[in-house]
Each structure stands twice: as C-alpha cells, then as structure tokens.
Amino acid sequence: MGKFSKEELEKSNYWADQIVRKIISEQGLKSEYNIAAGITPSGVVHIGNFREVITNDIVKRALEDFGFKVNFYYSWDDFDRYRKIPKNLPKQEELKSELGKPVSKVFDPFGCHESYSLHFEKTFEEEIKPLNINPKFIYENVEYQNCVYADEVKKALQKENVDKIKTILNKFRKEPLSSDWLPLQVYCKHCFKDNTKILSYDNEYSVKYHCNICNKDDVVNFKSEGFVKLVWRVDWPMRWFFYDIHFEPGGKDHSTPGGSYDTGKEIVKTIWNKKAPSYLMYDFVIPKGEGGKISSSKGNVITVSDVLKVFTPEILRFIFSGSRPGSEISIPFDENVIKVYEDFDKVERIYYDKEDVDNKEKNNAFRIYEMSVVDNKNIKNTFPFQPKFRELTVLSQIYENDKNLILKYYENKGFVFDEFDKNRLFERLDRAFFWVNNFAPDNFKFKLNSVDSIDDSIVNSFNDKEKELLKLILDNINVSSEELGLLMRDFINNNSLNAKDFFVKVYNLLLNSNRGPKLASFVEMMPEKVKELFNVVLRKE
C-alpha cells in the first residue's frame, strides 16, 4: 500500500496514466491543466452521459497524482435549441410550443425548477455528489446572455474567418454551405425562437435578422444583448480557446472522420491559433440485457441514481475506472451484479496485500482501486470489511433488512467494525435488499416458513437417510459453512442420496420453495431457525 512514485507513474500501463503522458506530450509540460466535458440538457442526463464525466474525473485524479493542479470545467450547453421532446416527459402537448427556444427558456414540465434545462442540470449535479465528482459547472445560457463570448463571436464572424471556417466544414459536406452562410444562430428578441434568417452583419457586434414566426425584422447587438450563439462546430473550438482546454473526451458521434472534433481541431488552430485539446474517444454504456445506445429523446434512460440503487458509489466508480474508455461498458442488473462486487473486492484485497498476483496485475489493480475509492485523499489504512453481496441478499431477507440485527449477526461471528466498515455494510445491505426485490431471479427470493405453516406432506416426505443427514447438519450446526458443505457432500456421496431431491425437500421445509440460497451458508446464518424447522421433521420419528 502507498502512493505510486513519480517513476512508477511514468511506467504505469493504467489507461488514465497513459492519457496523462499523452496530454503532457501533446500540450507541453504545465503546472496546471484544464480539462473539459459538457452536454446539452435536452432531457434526462443518463448513465451514458455520465461516462464523459467520470472519465474526466479519473484523468483529473491521475494528473493530480503526477503532481499537477487541475481545473475540471463542465459546460451545460443550455443555450442550444430545444429540438425534440423526449417520450418519457409529462406535458407533451404543451412542450410542442417550446420547440426552437433555447432549452434554458423552456418551462420545467415537472414544475419544480425555473426552467427545463435547470431541472435536469440540478438533478444530475446532485446525483454525482456521492461519487466525489466536483467540476466547475458553466451554464452556457448565462455566458451567452451575459455576452461573455462577444469578442470571440465577432472574431468568428469576420469575413476572412467565415471563409476559412466554410472551407474547413465544406471538406466534409456533400452540399457546400451557401454563400451568405454565417456560423451564427440568432434567437428572436420577441419570441426567443431560432426560426430566423440573418439579413446582414455590420462587421462589429450587430446582426440584423428576420423572424419567420413574428414576421418582424430586428437588430441584435451581441455585445450587450444575449440573443446569439455560435453554431456547435464553431462554438466548441471557440470554448477550447476561451478556457484554454488541454484535454476533453468525446463520444463516438464526435469522433468519426470529419466529425465535430476533426473540424474543431482545424477551426481552433486556424481562427484562434490554438492547439486542440488532447482527445479520447469513449464508447457506449449499455444496461445488461438491452442493446443499442441509451437516448434521452427515445426515453430509454437509466440514470446515475438508478444505478446507485444497486451499486455503491465506490462500485460504480470501479465499473468505469476498471474499463478502458474505448471499450463498451455493460452495466448489469441481473445476477452479474454479484460478480461486479466480487471483482471489486478482489482488487481491494490485492491493494491491501491480501491476495497474491504478479506485479503487472498488482500495479493495475492498485491504480483501479485508487480511482474507485470515493475519498482518494484519505484511503483507509487498515483492510476494510468485505461483506459478500450474495450473502447480504440472504441476510436482508432473513432479517427484513434490519441493519442492527444484521450488524449483530456479524459481530457474533467475531467481526469488529469501525465507522467505515459499518457504513459499507449498511450501504451494501440497502443495495442487496433493493436488488432482490426489483431485479433478482426468483431463485434468490424467499420467505421463511414458520412451524405452523409447514404442510404435513413436506414433513412426511423425508426418508430415513435424509433424516440422518438432517441430524448430521444439526450436530454440526456451529461449524463454518465450508466445513458443513463438505460434510453434507460426503454424506450424500457415501449414502447414494439423490442430492436434488433432498435439497428440494429442505427448501420446501425452510422456505416453501423448490430453490433457495446455498444451504450450508443458510444454516450458518440462521442456525436457530434451521434447528426449529428441522426438528419438526425429526420429532415425527
């Protein structure tokens, strides 16, 4: 345990460390780096959008480990036009009249925020707080309406620069841009919609336009009035210059040949004489069992909050920190949830020297773990308690998610808890209980029988050899689940018992079901209840 040295970081194969070396190589050595991400809040900000945020946060941590100061800017592109109404929103008819406005000027259909964009922005900002992700949020509607970018807009609108931008964009277009095209979007001063035509530009700060909705001509002075916005392919590189951005990842849609990163790279160099930020493409995030890209407009969204109901913050961070950005991530809600927890616990054991692996795996696990821990500045000195998720699915049902009873169960087994361990147990318990009740296969779900509820046919179904095995289990009820499992297996093999028949009978006795959790583990968790129900059969002799 302990931080990587500078020399070790220089050799590290962990993906974020490789990106840091790329940034230094491409952008030059600096004491401070600016990294950026952003999205148009056109609907629910989903787990696919989150990948850009967590990718930046991991790169930020890596840069800091190399000894650099980092500014992480997250732009809410809420001065973009409202193009399409997501299917999962209320007030569909009312929203139709809002199309064409900036999303920051559309009403909140949920009625709890000042605007449509603010609703989704503030929801997402709250969602990522438990993950210890704290970018500086920039609201582009505020920047544009306060005319912050006025001089850069003017620069982009100069005749020679417009011609240069058109030349760059036309290289990747089937139809060339028109001779009177300007890289500007004008919102009407009266209806705030973008159904406008630019009539003229005075080469300073004033644009004359015609609104096709109001049927009026008017003039906007974008030095003092916030009704204009650069088109996306020019706006993005302009902000690279304005905020001096050194790194920004992007999705597949921005990464295709001739896509917005390619054109932005040329535009920022040609117009603002700045090198484009180092770039990293990230792939899609897909919920397990569903195909295709998550889309806010289609309404098939899974949010960070949804995922945090099943995975703790450190596990959610682990899902992303342990995957290279260029690979697709599948977030499971099926039985593979258990494996994700087990994989994290293995990485944690490696970090604390509780599991032997070769140096390459150890170094990678070390970096993944530091990026997964929520508070990476204060990583626990002692090996944390690792409650098994599978076991918690059973305990949460046995004790109806009573945290104090489950804590006592572990204390009776000799575990000693500090505050960190207790919080981890309770966090995982809540997720295990939620998962069992919402996503788990039927064989994970059960309800304990009482003595009075057991059907006589179940009690009378056990033969003599099966009763002997029940007695053997009771005689060894205080041994570990591993030992008990071996004793049961040996008895079944030595007495030629039909294991399937026996377990079906036992699960019906205990749970009124043909299936249930691993019997040896169940006995270890509920010895008194098992004794009570087994004795219903044994007293019949």
State the average pLDDT over residues 486-499: 96
Residue 258 forms part of a structural domain: yes
Domain end marker among 261, 282, 303: 282
All residues at 6 or more sequence positions from 450 whose CB lies less than 8 Å from its CB, including other chains: none
Max alpha carbon distance in the chain (Å)?
102
Do 457 and 416 belong to one domain? no
Do 165 and 123 belong to one domain? yes
Q: What is the pLDDT of residue 290?
A: 45
pLDDT band at 298 (very low <50, low <70, confident <90, very high): very low
State the average pLDDT over residues 310-323: 98
Pick the closest to residue 80 from 236, 200, 213 (CA basis). 236
Residue 230 forms part of a structural domain: yes
All residues at 6 or more sequence positions from 245 whose CB lies less than 8 Å from its CB, including other chains: 34, 35, 36, 73, 239, 277
Q: What is the pLDDT of residue 178?
A: 96
Pick the closest to residue 277 from 254, 252, 245, 249 (CA basis). 245
pLDDT of 292 over the 50 cut: no
pLDDT band at 2 (very low <50, low <70, confident <90, very high): low
pLDDT band at 442 (very low <50, low <70, confident <90, very high): confident
CB 425 within 8 A of CB 385: yes
Domain end marker among 235, 263, 282: 282
Do 91 and 226 belong to one domain? yes
In the chain, the number of structural domains is: 3
pLDDT of 312 over the 70 cut: yes
Residue 39 forms part of a structural domain: yes
Do 413 and 468 belong to one domain? no
Cα(408)–Cα(257) distance, integer angstroms: 59
pLDDT tens-digit readout, 220-271 = 999 999 999 999 999 999 999 999 999 999 988 888 888 999 999 999 999 9
Cα(4)–Cα(120) distance, integer angstroms: 38
pLDDT tens-digit readout, 496-539 = 999 999 999 999 999 988 888 889 989 988 899 999 999 999 98
Q: What is the pLDDT of residue 443?
A: 84
SS (H, E, C) 416-450: CCCHHHHHHHHHHHHHHHHHHHHCCCHHHCCCCCC
Q: What is the pLDDT of residue 447?
A: 85
Is the four-CA dihedral 360, 366, 367, 368 of positive or negative sign?
Answer: positive
Do 118 and 227 belong to one domain? yes
The torsion angle over the Cα atoms of residues 152, 153, 154 and 159, rounded to 10 degrees, is 110
Give Cα 19 distance to the centre of its chain: 20
Do 412 and 522 belong to one domain? no
Domain end marker among 265, 282, 299: 282
Do 166 and 209 belong to one domain? yes
CB 503 within 8 A of CB 519: yes
pLDDT of 92 over the 80 cut: yes
Cα(35)–Cα(48) distance, integer angstroms: 19
Do 96 and 192 belong to one domain? yes
SS (H, E, C) 206-271: EEEEEECCCCEEEEEECCCCCCEEECHHHHHHHHHHHCCCCEEEEEHHHHCCCCHHHHHHHHHHHH
- H-only helix segments in 128-201: 140-145, 150-157, 159-170
Q: What is the pLDDT of residue 1?
A: 53
Q: What is the pLDDT of residue 293?
A: 46
Do 530 and 395 belong to one domain? no
pLDDT of 152 over the 60 cut: yes
Do 74 and 121 belong to one domain? yes
Q: What is the pLDDT of residue 407?
A: 95
Residue 487 forms part of a structural domain: yes
Q: What is the pLDDT of residue 540?
A: 66
pLDDT of 458 over the 90 cut: yes
Residue 253 forms part of a structural domain: yes
Tokens of 242: 């304005």
Kindly state the DSSP code that residue 171 receives in the 8-state scheme.
T
Least confident of 132-136, 450-454, 488-492: 450-454
Residue 235 forms part of a structural domain: yes
Could you give the C-alpha distances from 519 to 29, 320, 502, in angstroms and in order? 60, 35, 11
CATH number of the domain that residue 225 is part of:
3.40.50.620
pLDDT tens-digit readout, 198-227 = 999 999 999 999 999 999 999 999 999 999
Q: Considering the chain, what is the average pLDDT of its residues?
A: 94
CB 428 within 8 A of CB 387: yes
Cα(371)–Cα(374) distance, integer angstroms: 8
Residue 326 forms part of a structural domain: no
Host domain of residue 178:
6-282
Q: What is the pLDDT of residue 300?
A: 60
pLDDT tens-digit readout, 39-75 = 999 999 999 999 999 999 999 999 999 999 999 999 9
Do 51 and 199 belong to one domain? yes
Model pTM score:
0.91
Residue 378 forms part of a structural domain: no
Cα(208)–Cα(200) distance, integer angstroms: 5
pLDDT tens-digit readout, 380-437 = 999 999 999 999 999 999 888 999 999 999 998 899 999 999 999 999 999 999 999 9
Do 436 and 465 belong to one domain? no
Cα(64)–Cα(95) distance, integer angstroms: 44
CB 478 within 8 A of CB 524: no
